[in-house]
Amino acid sequence: MKNSIIVAAALTAGVSASLYGESNLNHTCQLVPDYLSCSAQADPSKVDSCCVETFGGLFLQTQFWDTYTGLESQGQLLPADSWTIHGLWPDYCNGSYTQYCDLTRQYDPFPSPNTTNGLPNGTVVPPYNGTDITAFITPFGRYDLLAYMNKYWIGQNQKNWILWAHEFSKHATCFSTFDLPCYGPQYVKHYDLVDFLETTIKYFLRLPTYDWLADAGIEPSNSTTYTLKKMEKALKREYRATPYLGCSGPRYNATAAGAGSLDNGRTELSEVWYYFHAYGRPQDGNSVPVEQTGKSSCATTKGAIKYYERAANAVAGGSGSNATSSGHYRL
């Protein structure tokens, strides 16, 4: 885990600094075997860490199920018939993780946590007070990327770009393969940000949570309730590994239906995390599904979970109840 000494060194050395010891020469990854992350070969002493992820080798593509944005009046809406992007995270192979690894690339206005280790003795993560990071993307002409993110990568009670900035600053800076020296001497500022955003979307496109659940008869409803095991089974059938399902809302044993129960899981479906390992660079998309490493926060009692419909005014194109699929999942 990176400590305050390494972070301080990165701040002192500037943009050419390496968090993981890579050179800032060109890295020809075609010459490096596509070792699987978290394997014995993914060792930074044996392989180029720009070409094989050697630190955060257990990846999570995470998604939200929100029912509103809080900024509907400003035109910030949720997509019909789709979950939305949360992020792409690099856990250590044992399931632990680090965060805010390079404070020279800190664009998060509201760091959470506000220290690098989440503890009072950690290095303080200074809040970003600069411009909307959309301005970092437009010089590359990726207007299609921005349009896609504004449709499927949606913040709640905050502007979309703040969520993007948080995900990049907290998580992308902890990948060895997104480290600045990996882009070589012709690096263009903020290309690492664009690279991370595109990579996150690459995995999201492969993981149509809404469709997979709907194919099993599990659809948003304000009246029907669902069971955790059935939802996990539906997603495992398609993904070939069990993802983590996260729930919010009241605990089951605090509800009228669960009074007296020992089940203290929460009851409102809100998130899914897909775990995987990757061959070579995660940017290349050669991944292998992995079983969730933890335990769902959802209630386990039969019929205890609500998968709420979205608010009618929160969905692009109307309520979404009769909306057709965007088709973006078929790429």
What is the DSSP-derived secondary structure letter of residue 69?
Answer: -
Q: Do 62 and 87 meet the contact criterion of CB atoms below 8 Å apart?
A: yes
Q: Is 199 helix (H, G, I), strand (E, B) or coil?
A: helix
Q: Is 190 left (phi over 0), alpha (psi -120 to 50) or beta?
A: left
* DSSP H or E segment with residue 170: helix 160-170
Catalytic residue numbers, as ranges:
86, 167, 171
Secondary structure of residue 288 in the 3-state scheme:
strand
Q: Are 60 and 275 in contact (CB under 8 A)?
A: yes
| Alpha-carbon separation of residue 50 from 33, 186, 309 (angstroms) | 12, 15, 43
